Amino acid sequence: MTERQKAWIGVSPGAGAYLGESDREEVNFQQSFYGGHYGRLVGIKNEIDPEDVFWAKTAVGSEAWHVVSDRPVDDENGRLCRV
């Protein structure tokens, strides 16, 4: 967690975030972006997309995958591997 993230959490504990203008490195994106609905959304995702064809860094169910890259900065340009 970055110092900037800690500062925002300190002044707004429990607050959410707008996914379209978010920090892609959000540590607790499940709560910040989806709140208490996350568990139900994972169930829907698993039912509709059981092979995990659709993936995005902070999308529902994305924590089941990790991008392996040889770049110095962690990004989505690499191989997508199951955790």
Tokens encoding 8: 């925002």
Predicted confidence pLDDT, tens digits, the chain (83 residues):
678 778 877 877 777 665 566 677 777 889 888 999 999 999 999 999 999 999 988 899 999 998 888 887 767 788 889 98
Contacts by 22-29 with C-beta closer than 8 Å and gap 24+? 22/58, 24/57, 24/58, 26/58, 27/1, 29/58
Q: Which of 31, 81, 83 is nearest to 60 (CA)?
A: 31
